[in-house]
């Protein structure tokens, strides 16, 4: 347990989600263990006693998340309600409390995966592994970032930006991810054997995380090689794909895709329709923010844009399509693959960006970077 | 037989208030019945389903399962009959003839749905009819009918004859002939399979129950229920194990066959090996090629994980596929479907039947051919020939041959299709399961193999004691809500707590429900303790600690480390509130509000 606590503490720091020495993680089997000493432990021990869980995480987010979350927490009484796909699907809403008190924390965590304590940090939990607490924490940071920048753009257009909002925005700009002009060196195809394919998929996943093009594990990677699709497994961390790649026969003769990414069906359809071999899917923040930026007044589908947007929307040459995670009636497996034909990338509304290439990941990765950079530029262009 | 009419106003029956419980109590000895309204506080305390069924079983648990006072309980959940996805299952509970423990099963079909629409939350049957009988329920009207004309009828035969009367639950010839692992079959093909509930029904001379209802299940807040149901459906759609191209929706539980094989933990040759060479030709794809199946499923579920071939052959679930192929080293696919057919028609649990054949094969050294498999299964069900002694299950059979250690069972119930050497949480879950070796009580396969909600190290006991305990609590809630466990690959109690509140008007949370789950599971331990079960019964067969599995493809399947296993079990006892012998601590019982059960 101790090893896992330290692993996820280090991951939070590496992902820019917390500063060194800040994440406090507790793991409970027969005994309770912490990754470090902290004065917050007595309160969190009460939380452990009040909930049927095995892990807790408490941390003050690193900038810019700290200022953003504090701002949103002061604006929204009781709950922050981001509208990105992750929150909508998995988190529902983000409760906020004023005081770091065990009874208040327990009350909120009885029915939600996280609670934001104003000015103090975020508390999340797991019932199986500290990894769940890490994922929920990461999702809160991501969702709040997307909501803040989306709200700022909307309010800026209307001339409604407040002083506090402006101050947080200016501060956040100092911490924006900077992307290199050139993509990193990736393995070149065509690949000679399965081992190289596994290594190429793992490398693409790791670089996607290292370039901050995805939050927590919510992305996926695949490569067609011969008659098999090699795809990252569901809930796998893209920076740790070794041993977490499923080889799925294209003819469906084995059910190994049962543990594959939730977007397996979309990947298969994209390959069939486009003739491409490699697919990268990340959640770059500005691609997600810009996908949710719509100025159409009195739209009859407002509120269900993620499933039913009837418009053909683009950010420059990149199409935006509606679609929910997975394979339901509104699943992105229905909307994404046809949009991918003839395009270098497609953004799914409020969710993330998909790119493709032939033989290896070089072009797909290059496009992932350049489209996110382009969305960042577009964001500031829209601000004027 | 006497006919009865419903004693209360039909409007009140069919349009009653949510959150209340109405139980039909039938005494087959006197052929009388009455309705009982349950205090809403009791409904809230025990949720429904498994929780509420145990409320009726607990006072009688020390009796023999044959005692007429032993109740046979059919309990719906609070969400049954509503929009809440996959919430139409029914808990069937009594004392298990196979193990002597608490014996409950969650069964699909439309039984729960029809009970609720008939205005009934649960059915508690006691007594013993003088002759073979059936209970017929229609919108709360009850009659007890002669069933002599159905004596010996198979599940399909009695279903075909009775289905016009609504949902049908009943026993096949296996129960009538004393098979300890006989099932209650619902709507022809859904089995309350494990532990021998069918034999309890047979001991009451009860062949069948039919239920038909036309009422409406009351919902406190329809809009909130719609919203919660949408959340659930969205999460289901985001879960590849459920709705992915090779998930349960598209391939049924057969989808697990390749996965378990590739992880080298498919039990073969009575658990002497963990890999079956012919697995790739007996997988879901092979069944699809052979039978071109369509999907069907339980009332109120959109996953529809069951399969029927275009020739009408019902295809086996994963456990059945695995045990009737790898476990008994059968390489003939059609022999698997035939074994499945015989078990379902006769009303026998396929896991126990397959594992008992495997035990027989190891003890006798006989290689089982397809014809021999058929012959032995028919012998089991009919109580005739060489198969008759196998109807007592692998433990009593192996014991009678002087080698009880060759029964791959816990508390007398046979292990299903996941070798514990390939998933250490599963190893612990098998022994702490209160009904014997069951994969569903803690379902560690979810995180150890299917990576839900996140992956854990399957070859480590670290952290597994509490993970298993929490999962048991959660699954006790799921069985009390009578929801399908599979949905929880994607959903959590968070969404179902909202659905519960919407239906009943009782505000609750995921953690409130989990607290009830802990109470329900602890009560299981209390019932087993009253029946004399101790830590000695919470153990695996010695094979798993001394013999290697089939390593390969870079996966090493080592024997379980006994010391680590026992240490983890001790941790589990502390976490669960048990003493070192596995007995429930009275302090824990009081903490859980169960002091009146001490």
A254 to chain B, any CB pair closer than 8 A? The answer is yes
Evaluate if residue B9 carries a pLDDT over 70: no
A194-383 matches A2-173 in CATH topology: yes
pLDDT at B12: 47
Do A311 and A304 form a contact (C-beta atoms < 8 A)? Answer: no
CA within 13 Å, CB half, B21 = 29
Highest-confidence range of A175-184, B5-14, B174-183, by mean pLDDT? B174-183
Among B residues 121-180, those touching chain A with beta carbons less than 8 Å apart: none
Alpha carbon of A382: minimum distance to chain B alpha carbons (Å): 33
Do B412 and B550 form a contact (C-beta atoms < 8 A)? Answer: no
Evaluate if residue B427 carries a pLDDT over 70: yes
Between CA A142 and CA A367 the distance in angstroms is 22
Interface test with B, best of A254, A270, A352 (most B CBs within 10 A): A254
* pLDDT (tens digit per residue) in A82-141: 988 888 888 889 999 999 999 999 999 999 999 999 999 999 999 999 999 999 999 999
pLDDT at A90: 85
A347 to chain B, any CB pair closer than 8 A? The answer is no
- CB pair distance less than 8 Å for A264 and B473: no
Evaluate if residue A32 carries a pLDDT over 50: yes
Between CA A204 and CA A188 the distance in angstroms is 11
Tell me what percent of the residues of chain A surpass a pLDDT of 90.
79
pLDDT at B17: 53
pLDDT at A329: 81
Q: How confident is the model at residue B20 (pLDDT cuts 50, 70, 90)?
A: low
Question: Searching chain A, which residue's CA lies closest to the CA of residue B570?
Answer: A30
A328 to chain B, any CB pair closer than 8 A? The answer is yes
- Cβ contacts from A onto B, under 8 A: 172
Nearest to B259 among A126, A135, A255 (CB): A255
pLDDT at A76: 65
* pLDDT (tens digit per residue) in B184-223: 999 999 999 999 999 999 999 999 999 999 998 999 999 9
pLDDT at A217: 62
Superfamily per CATH, domain A194-383:
Class II aldolase/adducin N-terminal domain (3.40.225.10)
What are the Cα distances from residue A43, in Å, to A50, A137, B15, B431? Answer: 11, 19, 47, 35
- CB pair distance less than 8 Å for A257 and B244: yes
B227 to chain A, any CB pair closer than 8 A? The answer is no
Look at the domain A2-173 and name its fold.
L-fuculose-1-phosphate Aldolase (3.40.225)
Evaluate if residue B11 carries a pLDDT over 70: no
Domains of chain B: residue spans and CATH: 10-212 (3.60.9.10), 248-419 (1.10.569.10), 423-489+509-598 (1.10.599.10)
Among B residues 383-402, those touching chain A with beta carbons less than 8 Å apart: none
Alpha carbon of B233: minimum distance to chain A alpha carbons (Å): 8
- CB pair distance less than 8 Å for A110 and B512: yes
pLDDT at B14: 41
Q: Per-residue pLDDT averaged across A27-53, rounded? A: 97
Mean pLDDT, chain B, rounded, equals 94
H-only helix segments in B531-561: 543-546
Between CA A109 and CA A119 the distance in angstroms is 18
Evaluate if residue B403 carries a pLDDT over 70: yes
Q: Per-residue pLDDT averaged across B500-527, rounded? A: 96
- CB pair distance less than 8 Å for A52 and B497: no
Evaluate if residue B140 carries a pLDDT over 90: no
A11 to chain B, any CB pair closer than 8 A? The answer is no
Do A235 and B454 form a contact (C-beta atoms < 8 A)? Answer: yes
What are the Cα distances from residue B12, in Å, to B7, B120, B214? Answer: 11, 12, 13
pTM of the model: 0.93
Query: What backbone phi and psi angles, to 5 degrees, belong to B106?
Result: -105, 120
Do B368 and B330 form a contact (C-beta atoms < 8 A)? Answer: yes
Between CA A324 and CA B120 the distance in angstroms is 38
Evaluate if residue A376 carries a pLDDT over 90: yes
Q: Per-residue pLDDT averaged across B398-422, rounded? A: 98
* pLDDT (tens digit per residue) in B554-582: 899 999 999 999 999 999 999 999 999 99
Give one DSSP letter per residue of A161-191, joined into a string. --HHHHHHHHHHHTT-----SSPPP---SS-
Between CA B597 and CA A30 the distance in angstroms is 26
A1 to chain B, any CB pair closer than 8 A? The answer is yes
Nearest to A258 among B246, B494, B514 (CB): B246
B280 to chain A, any CB pair closer than 8 A? The answer is yes
* pLDDT (tens digit per residue) in B254-287: 999 999 999 999 999 999 999 999 999 999 999 9
Alpha carbon of A205: minimum distance to chain B alpha carbons (Å): 18
Alpha carbon of B89: minimum distance to chain A alpha carbons (Å): 23
Residue spans per domain, chain A: 2-173, 194-383
- CB pair distance less than 8 Å for A235 and B454: yes
How long a stretch of residues is chain A? 384
Question: Searching chain A, which residue's CA lies closest to the CA of residue B286?
Answer: A253
Question: Searching chain A, which residue's CA lies closest to the CA of residue B234?
Answer: A89
């Amino acid at each position: 347990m101790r090893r896992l606590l330290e692993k996820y503490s280090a991951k939070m720091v590496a992902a820019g989600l917390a500063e060194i020495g800040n994440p406090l993680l507790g793991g409970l089997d027969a005994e309770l263990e912490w990754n470090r000493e902290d004065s917050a432990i007595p309160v969190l021990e009460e939380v452990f006693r009040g909930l049927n869980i095995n892990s807790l995480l408490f941390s003050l987010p690193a900038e810019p998340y700290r200022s953003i979350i504090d701002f949103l927490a002061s604006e929204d009484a009781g709950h922050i309600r981001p509208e990105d796909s992750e929150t909508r699907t998995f988190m529902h809403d983000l409760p906020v409390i004023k005081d770091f008190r065990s009874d208040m924390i327990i009350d909120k965590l009885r029915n939600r995966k996280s609670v934001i304590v104003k000015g103090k940090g975020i508390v999340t939990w797991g019932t199986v592994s500290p990894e769940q607490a890490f994922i929920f924490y990461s999702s809160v940071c991501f969702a709040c970032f997307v909501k803040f920048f989306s709200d700022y753009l909307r309010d800026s257009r209307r001339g409604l930006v407040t002083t506090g909002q402006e101050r947080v925005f200016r501060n956040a700009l100092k911490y924006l991810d900077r992307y290199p002009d050139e993509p990193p060196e990736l393995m070149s195809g065509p690949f000679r054997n399965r081992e190289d394919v596994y290594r190429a998929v793992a490398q693409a996943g790791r670089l996607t995380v290292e370039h901050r093009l995805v939050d927590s594990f919510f992305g996926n990677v695949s490569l067609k090689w011969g008659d098999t699709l090699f795809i990252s497994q569901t809930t796998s961390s893209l920076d740790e794909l070794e041993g977490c790649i499923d080889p799925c026969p294209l003819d469906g003769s084995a059910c190994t895709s049962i543990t594959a990414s939730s977007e397996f069906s979309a990947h298969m359809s994209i390959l069939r329709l486009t003739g491409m071999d490699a697919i990268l899917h990340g959640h770059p923040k500005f691609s997600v923010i810009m996908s949710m930026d719509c100025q159409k007044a009195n739209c009859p589908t407002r509120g269900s844009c993620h499933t039913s947007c009837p418009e053909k929307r683009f950010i420059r040459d990149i199409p935006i399509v509606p679609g929910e995670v997975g394979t339901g009636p509104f699943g992105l497996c229905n909307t994404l693959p046809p949009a991918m034909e003839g395009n270098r990338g497609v953004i799914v509304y409020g969710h993330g960006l998909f790119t493709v290439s032939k033989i290896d990941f070089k072009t797909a990765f290059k496009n992932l970077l350049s489209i996110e950079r382009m969305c960042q530029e577009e964001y500031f262009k829209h601000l004027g | 037989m006497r006919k009865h009419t419903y004693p209360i106003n039909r409007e009140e029956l069919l349009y009653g208030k949510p959150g209340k419980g109405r139980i039909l109590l039938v005494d087959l000895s006197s052929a009388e019945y009455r309705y009982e309204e349950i205090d809403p506080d009791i409904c809230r305390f025990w949720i429904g389903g498994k929780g509420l069924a145990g409320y009726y079983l607990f006072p009688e648990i020390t009796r023999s399962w044959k005692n007429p006072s032993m109740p046979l309980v059919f309990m719906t959940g609070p969400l049954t009959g509503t929009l809440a996805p996959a919430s139409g299952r029914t808990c069937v509970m009594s004392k298990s003839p196979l193990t002597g423990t608490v014996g409950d099963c969650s069964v699909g079909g439309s039984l729960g749905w029809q009970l609720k629409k008939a205005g009934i939350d649960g059915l508690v049957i006691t007594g013993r009819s003088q002759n073979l009988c059936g209970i017929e329920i229609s919108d709360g009207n009850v009659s007890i009918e002669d069933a002599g004309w159905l004596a010996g009828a198979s599940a399909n035969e009695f279903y075909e004859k009775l289905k016009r009367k609504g949902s049908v639950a009943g026993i096949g010839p296996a129960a009538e002939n004393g098979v300890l692992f006989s099932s209650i079959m619902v709507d022809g093909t859904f089995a309350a399979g494990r532990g021998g509930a069918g034999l309890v029904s047979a001991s009451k001379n009860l062949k069948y129950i039919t239920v038909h209802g036309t009422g409406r299940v009351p919902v406190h807040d329809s809009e909130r229920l719609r919203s919660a149901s949408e959340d659930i459906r969205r999460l289901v759609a985001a879960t590849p194990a459920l709705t992915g191209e090779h998930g349960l929706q598209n391939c049924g539980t057969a989808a697990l066959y390749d996965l378990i094989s590739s992880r080298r933990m498919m039990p073969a040759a009575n658990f002497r090996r963990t890999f079956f060479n012919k697995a790739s030709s007996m997988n879901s794809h092979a069944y699809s090629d052979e039978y071109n199946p369509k999907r069907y499923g339980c009332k109120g579920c959109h996953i529809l994980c069951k399969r029927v071939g275009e020739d009408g052959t019902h295809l086996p679930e994963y456990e059945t596929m695995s045990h009737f192929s790898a476990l008994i080293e059968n390489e003939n696919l059609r022999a698997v479907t035939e074994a499945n057919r015989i078990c379902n028609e006769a009303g026998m649990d396929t896991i126990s039947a397959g594992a008992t054949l495997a035990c027989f094969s190891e003890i006798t050294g006989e290689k089982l051919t397809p014809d021999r498999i058929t012959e032995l299964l028919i012998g089991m069900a009919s109580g005739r020939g060489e198969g008759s002694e196998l109807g007592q299950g692998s433990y009593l059979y192996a014991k009678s041959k002087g080698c009880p250690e060759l029964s791959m069972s816990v508390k007398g119930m046979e292990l299903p299709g996941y070798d514990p050497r390939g998933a250490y949480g599963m190893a612990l879950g098998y022994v702490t399961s209160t009904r014997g070796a069951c994969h569903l009580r803690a379902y560690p396969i979810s995180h150890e193999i299917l990576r839900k909600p996140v992956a854990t190290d399957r070859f480590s006991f670290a952290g597994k004691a509490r993970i298993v305990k929490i999962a048991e609590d959660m699954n006790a809630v799921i069985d009390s809500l009578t929801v399908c466990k599979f949905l929880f690959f994607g959903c959590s109690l968070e969404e179902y707590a909202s659905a519960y509140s919407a239906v009943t008007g009782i505000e609750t949370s995921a953690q409130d429900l989990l607290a009830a789950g802990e109470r329900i599971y602890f009560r299981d331990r209390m019932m087993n303790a009253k029946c004399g079960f101790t830590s000695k019964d919470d153990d695996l067969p010695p094979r798993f600690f001394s013999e290697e599995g089939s390593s390969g493809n870079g996966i090493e399947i080592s024997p379980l480390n006994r010391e680590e296993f026992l240490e983890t079990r001790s941790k589990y006892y502390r976490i669960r509130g048990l003493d070192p012998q596995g007995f429930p601590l009275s302090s824990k019982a009081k903490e859980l509000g169960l002091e009146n059960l001490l």
